[in-house]
């Protein structure tokens, strides 16, 4: 399962962060997921809660922000975003477009419990 391995790597990264900062109690983890990563947010959140159940991260909320796909047209220079895979530039209609955003899966911030 795609989401399970992603959830596991998020947990691994966050645990390292916690250890290096001496933090014990977390409130939430905020991540950004590009549409290209083909992640189902609900499934990812579910996997995350399953993995963390018996750890010190139990009950931590995983907030997922979806990032739209971003493109740049190499013919006219038009930059545009799309929720779907784009094939042509909306301005000049050429197919020479490059994906510039939407592949990423990043941990944006970690919220520590008071
Ligand atoms: Zn164009």
Q: Look at the domain 2-68+102-112 and name its fold.
A: hypothetical protein PF0899 fold (3.30.2320)
CA of 88 to the centre of ligand 1 (A): 8
pLDDT digit of tens for each residue in the chain (114 aa)?
Answer: 589 999 999 999 999 988 898 888 899 999 999 988 888 999 999 999 999 999 889 999 999 999 999 999 999 999 999 988 899 999 999 999 999 999 889 999 999 987
Q: What is the pTM of this model?
A: 0.80
Q: Where exactly are the structural domains of the chain?
A: 2-68+102-112
What is the whole-number distance in angstroms between the Cα of residue 81 and the centre of ligand 1?
13
Q: Are 81 and 66 in contact (CB under 8 A)?
A: no
Angle (CA) 40-102-77 rounded to 5° is 150
Nearest to residue 111, comparing CAs of 20, 23, 51?
Answer: 23
Q: What is the distance in A from the centroid of ligand 1 to the CA of 82?
A: 14
């Amino acid at each position: 399962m795609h989401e399970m391995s992603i959830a596991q790597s998020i947990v691994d990264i966050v645990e390292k962060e916690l250890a290096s900062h001496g933090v014990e109690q977390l409130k939430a983890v905020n991540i950004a997921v590009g549409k290209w990563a083909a992640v189902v947010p609900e499934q990812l959140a579910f996997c995350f809660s399953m993995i963390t159940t018996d750890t010190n991260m139990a009950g931590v909320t995983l907030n997922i922000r979806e990032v739209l796909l971003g493109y740049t047209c190499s013919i006219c220079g038009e930059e545009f975003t799309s929720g779907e895979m784009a094939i042509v530039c909306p301005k000049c209609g050429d197919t020479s477009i490059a994906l510039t955003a939407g592949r990423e899966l990043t941990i944006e911030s970690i919220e520590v419990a008071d």
